Chain A
């Protein structure tokens, strides 16, 4: 008797084979995968169109008058206008975010993760911070107008160049806007610090502040840095709060140097405001300058984003090893 005699007749065997060997070529499966793949492709396509549109749109400006475009202030003619004051304002806003938000945000995260007892006050603070992160940016503009513009008006008075709508008010407003994201991301980074590391430091007689300064913060630093860079990028791209605070759309008066501290008490504008102004001018001749200003802003914002993402991916990979 043949050992290999088939268990089944040939017809049944063929049917079983056909059922098993569909090769995953189920049509519904294929359609589904194509559809969700298409959604992703759509998102990437839109990004591609957007970048292509602004880069080609900006080309006439960059190729013909890059120098004057970045060194001039805003003028009333599209052929002569520039983004110097916008760049200057955005730079100083960045300074405010770095100097005000980063230390306060990281300190608040340290309090919530390392000091705060589990009580109602702590819960109120952390719910409050999560909600602040979801408050529309234009509402921060109202806060900036009422508190900072009002306050600075009291300090400088109406006799100064401005009526309180200064770069200081704008910078502080965006510093406040960026704060919740810094607190939330820093808290997450601090929470990821292993407790064995803290114990090791306490075990040799370190005080709480020493443990935090020499072990917790250094270990959490990459995560904190990622969060702070993302929040900085977001703040630099915000326009709505600055409109409420009274950033100047259009021609801006006296021209201080880029790094002059005196301008902190003067009227100001910033890149997103300059773009808003260019984009809302009637007529096609403003399109190239708007595109060019956008390319400059994107370069700034996206490079901060890219550094943050790269940093995070690198450290995630390193920690997993």
Chain B
């Protein structure tokens, strides 16, 4: 065989073209995600800005008989009622906060406890059965939990313990959101505890520590970054949850009085958005419609900050083991 040095080892142009094409295609797919983020921010910001400038420059259309021309002061009104140019966003933020606190109060002990049990106590057989069941719980759509909160938790728990509560209340919604976040906390925490090296457990046991002491003084502190991440992710999820609050807290008609009482009806940022878009109010002003985007922007920024924070904690777990 006498190879021609000129042509030997030369690339096949067709094959090279194909390789470049494939690379370009998959790169485009990856870049699409950046485009999506830009589109999300753009769709929020444009109308959110229109909303703020609309407040600063009142027109004849945005004049309310009772309160006079709109201004930025409308943002601190004591209720959320876009129809009447009442944009008390504090009402929604406090509503979101209440729901989140209630949800975390339920989900933190249950989720962490379940994670500890599965990671430290359960034998392989129990784990094999229980983990898929928790995953089923994680797969239940939020609209189902919304129905459950409205039709079961509220009448059978909340109204029994607090007879003064109405059928729709923030407490029932918070508990429903809590149920939603339990599997999230459980699975992230269990991953964090599973990544704690067994050598640490053995070292503790070798010093005569019982399992409880080992778990509380050795495993949990070693896994703390992951546990914090789990809780932050859960908070972010709870703030962003829509349907449970939309159904169970009484946000329909898109108006809510300011309240810090969990037994009252109320709304959250998410529920207000869904309620606004539900089309029960077709004659809404442009300013009122744009308020939806303003709320969405506030929500997006809050959850983004929480997610970035959680990401840092997750990465700290990866670095340490």
Contacts and interface: CB of A to CB of B under 8 A. Distances in A.
Contacts of B137: 43, 46-47
Interface string A251-290: 0000000000000000000001001100110000001001
Contact of B26 (A111, A236, A290, A309): A111
A275 B117 contact: no
B19 A208 contact: yes
Contacts of A134: 233, 236-237, 240, 303-304, 306-307, 310
Interface in A25-55: 26, 28-29, 32-33, 35-40, 42-44, 46-47, 49-50, 53-54
Contacts of B203: none
B130 interface: yes
B85 interface: no
Interface residues of B, number: 91
Q: Which of B237, B278, B303 has the most CB of A within 10 A?
A: B278
Interface residues of A, number: 90
Summarize B's interface: helix, strand, loop or mixed.
helix
21 contacts: A36-B114, A42-B110, A43-B186, A104-B32, A107-B25, A108-B32, A125-B33, A134-B233, A138-B270, A139-B40, A179-B33, A207-B18, A209-B19, A243-B274, A249-B278, A276-B143, A280-B247, A290-B151, A294-B144, A309-B132, A313-B132
Contact of A54 (B32, B117, B144): B144
B64 to A, nearest CB: 26
A145 B32 CA distance: 18
B110 A139 contact: no
Given A145-B43, A233-B139, A138 B113 contact: no
B37 A128 contact: yes
A138 B32 contact: no
Contacts of A124: 34
B300 A139 contact: yes
- Rank and list the top 9 A-B pairs by shortest CB-CB distance, nearest first: A136-B240, A237-B141, A39-B113, A146-B43, A107-B29, A240-B242, A134-B307, A305-B139, A111-B26
B316 interface: no
A129 B304 CA distance: 12
B186 A139 contact: no
Contact of A47 (B19, B136, B151): B136
A279 B147 contact: yes
Interface string B141-181: 11111111011100000000000000000000000000100
B147 A294 contact: yes
Contact of B139 (A112, A115, A276, A301): A301
Interface of B: 15, 18-19, 22-23, 25-34, 36-37, 39-40, 42-44, 46-47, 109-114, 116-118, 121, 128, 130, 132-137, 139-148, 150-152, 179, 182-183, 186, 210-212, 233, 236-237, 239-243, 246-247, 252, 270, 273-274, 277-279, 292-293, 296, 299-300, 303-304, 306-308, 310-311
A39 B33 contact: no
Nearest to A131: B307
B279 to A, nearest CB: 7
A240 B274 contact: yes
A70 interface: no
B307 A111 contact: no
Given A43-B186, A44-B130, A305-B136, A138 B240 contact: yes
Nearest to B21: A209
Contact of B34 (A125, A140, A207): A125
Contact of B143 (A28, A42, A114, A239): A239
A143 B300 CA distance: 12
A33 B137 CA distance: 23
Interface string A294-309: 1001100110011001
A127 interface: yes
B300 A128 contact: no
Nearest to B135: A309
A171 to B, nearest CB: 15
Nearest to B216: A32
Interface string A236-250: 111110011010010
B26 A53 contact: no
Nearest to B32: A104
A180 interface: yes
A184 to B, nearest CB: 11
Contacts of A309: 132, 135
Nearest to B29: A107
Given A50-B140, A112-B30, A237-B144, 19 more contacts: A28-B212, A33-B212, A43-B137, A47-B136, A132-B37, A132-B40, A134-B306, A136-B239, A136-B300, A139-B303, A142-B293, A146-B47, A147-B39, A180-B33, A272-B143, A279-B146, A280-B252, A287-B151, A294-B144
